[in-house]
């Protein structure tokens, strides 16, 4: 529902609007626009030089405009003078097709035209570090098995409760917070929603968590593996498909009480699409060099990585890439904290819709402990071992690239290859230590 931003400013005493967009690498970019100037900007958009961010544009391109999606505006609970509003990118009167929020919007329309309305909930894990980002901020948080540590979460009560209070105020329906499996790691859960709403909330959650942590003299990070030897930051996604969007949805089309695990044929086909495209999806769900220190990781100090290395699925068993924790939904455990909030949802839609269209079979269900018995799995493909393998898997997956759009897919592969080349030309301490005496 469109909102008049000038009126919103009047009613809420907002002085500035932060018109924000997310680039291909997940960076959130914004302009602060005084409320007096928002009237025209609401319709025309705020101007940016697209080349300056990761969108595969050149300095010769005309101005790029972020046109606010006013229905998604949020007054910052920790700085009420300011309101954040995500924008859709336009250029020369046309949609910038490679922009993540536009990619997602296009896939939502396609899904709706096929009678599917995807809803997801995400679990965006994060660490609270010292401001320099090199150490866990709580020097007493040293347990070998720190998951659900009661003392440790209370030592960070001021930060966690402040964020949770804001989510309550925003009406997101937060329902639990905990200390996670790594020292210094936390997770906060709120209700699932339509994929665009979840992507906007995911973006805002990262912004809010980093901002509140900074206020308390800390640094929050969603980096997939910020500390060697400890469990990494996942961003698990719980997926279901409904008959209608938002409050209109009545029937979960993934639910079927007659079926094994309560997952309908459509749910299994959607899952089949995810299984079929998983290795290529990794380029988006696990988009950084560091992501591959989380998946494929050796056991951590706590005893498990909580991250998959093989494309397998199961019932309520956390050692697999996909788990069906209850009827009518499944949990994709592949994504990590670096996943772009919009592209994460977009690639779930792209893979899942293909699965439904092609009646994809998710393959054999494994009910084994993958950490102990993973070697027994026959035919379950291994996930990419590094970012380069993932980009190559993505680049050769013509169907997934087409579903996400050629403009996006070409731009993404190009920029990610550039990033990989920058990484591999970087001279590391490891190679010197291991090569100097050869």
Residues that bind Mg ion in the complex, under the rule CB under 5 A: 187
Q: How far, in Å, CA of 36 to CA of 6, rounded? A: 7
Adjacent-strand bridge partners of 193:
120
| CB contact at 8 A, 104 and 195 | yes
Q: Toward Mg ion, which CB reaches closer, 82 or 304?
A: 304
Smallest gap from residue 286 Cβ to Mg ion (A): 16
Angle made by CA atoms 269, 270, 271, in degrees to the nearest 5: 90
Q: State which residue, 177 or 312, has the beta carbon closest to Mg ion.
A: 177
Q: Tell me the C-alpha distance between 69 and 349, whole Å.
A: 21
Q: How far is the CB of 123 from Mg ion (least distance, A)?
A: 5
Strand partners, 329: 326
For tokens 């992501």, the residue is 291
Minimum CB distance to Mg ion, residue 364 (Å): 26
Residue 147 or 350: the one with the smaller Cβ distance to Mg ion is: 147
Nearest residue to Mg ion, using CB? 187
Asked whether the beta carbons of 412 and 24 are under 8 A apart, the reply is yes
Task: Give the number of other Cβ atoms within 10 Å of residue 361's Cβ.
Answer: 13
Tokens read off for 72: 């998604």
How far is it, in rounded angstroms, from Cα 364 to Cα 231?
28
Rounded least distance, CB 147 to Mg ion, Å: 9
**In the bound complex, what is the minimum distance in angstroms from residue 342's beta carbon to Mg ion?**
22
| CA atoms of 53 and 38, how far apart (whole Å) | 23
Nearer to Mg ion, 177 or 340 (CB): 177
Q: Kindly tell me the burial class for residue 36, based on how many C-beta atoms sit within 10 Å of its own C-beta (0-12, 13-18, 19 or more).
A: exposed
Reported as half-sphere exposure (CB side, CA atoms, 13 A), residue 265 has a value of 3
Minimal distance, residue 198 CB to Mg ion, in Å = 16
Smallest separation (angstroms) from Mg ion to the CB of 143: 17
Compare residues 187 and 331 and give the one whose CB is closer to Mg ion. 187
């Amino acid at each position: 529902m469109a909102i008049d931003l000038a009126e919103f400013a009047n009613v809420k005493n907002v002085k500035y609007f932060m018109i924000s967009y997310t680039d291909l690498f997940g960076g959130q970019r914004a302009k602060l626009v005084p409320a007096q100037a928002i009237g025209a900007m609401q319709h025309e958009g705020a101007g940016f030089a697209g080349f300056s961010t990761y969108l595969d544009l050149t300095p010769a391109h005309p101005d790029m405009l972020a046109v606010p999606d006013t229905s998604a505006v949020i007054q910052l609970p920790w700085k009420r003078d300011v309101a954040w509003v995500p924008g859709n990118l336009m250029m020369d009167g046309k949609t910038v097709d490679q922009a993540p929020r536009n990619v997602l919007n296009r896939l939502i329309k396609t899904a709706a035209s096929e009678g599917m309305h995807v809803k997801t909930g995400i679990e965006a894990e994060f660490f609270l570090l010292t401001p320099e980002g090199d150490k866990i901020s709580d020097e007493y948080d040293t347990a070998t098995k720190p998951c659900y540590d009661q003392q440790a979460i209370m030592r960070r009560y001021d930060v966690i409760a402040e964020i949770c209070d804001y989510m309550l105020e925003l009406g997101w329906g937060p329902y639990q917070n905990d200390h996670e499996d790594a020292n210094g790691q936390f997770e906060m859960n709120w209700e699932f929603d339509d994929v665009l709403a979840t992507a906007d909330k995911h973006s805002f959650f990262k912004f809010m968590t980093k901002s509140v942590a900074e206020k308390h003299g800390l640094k929050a990070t969603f980096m997939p593996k910020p500390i060697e030897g400890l469990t990494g930051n996942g961003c698990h996604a719980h997926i279901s498909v409904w008959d209608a969007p938002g409050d209109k949805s009545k029937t979960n089309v993934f639910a079927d009480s007659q079926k094994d695990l309560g997952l309908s044929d459509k749910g299994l086909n959607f899952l089949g699409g995810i299984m079929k495209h998983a290795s290529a999806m990794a380029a988006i769900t696990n988009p950084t060099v560091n992501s591959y220190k989380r998946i494929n990781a050796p056991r951590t100090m706590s005893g498990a990585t909580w991250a998959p290395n093989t494309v397998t699925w199961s019932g309520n068993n956390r050692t697999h890439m996909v788990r069906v924790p209850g009827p009518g939904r499944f949990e994709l455990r592949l994504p990590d904290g670096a996943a772009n909030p919009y592209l994460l949802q977009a690639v779930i839609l792209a893979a899942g819709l293909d699965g439904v269209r092609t009646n994809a079979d998710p393959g054999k269900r494994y009910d084994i402990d993958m950490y102990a018995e993973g070697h027994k799995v026959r035919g379950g493909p291994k996930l990419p071992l590094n970012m380069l393998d993932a980009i190559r898997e993505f680049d050769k997956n013509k169907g997934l690239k087409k579903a996400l759009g050629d403009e996006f897919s070409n731009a993404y592969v190009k920029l990610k290859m550039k990033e990989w080349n920058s990484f591999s030309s970087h001279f590391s301490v490891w190679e010197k230590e291991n090569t100097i005496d050869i």
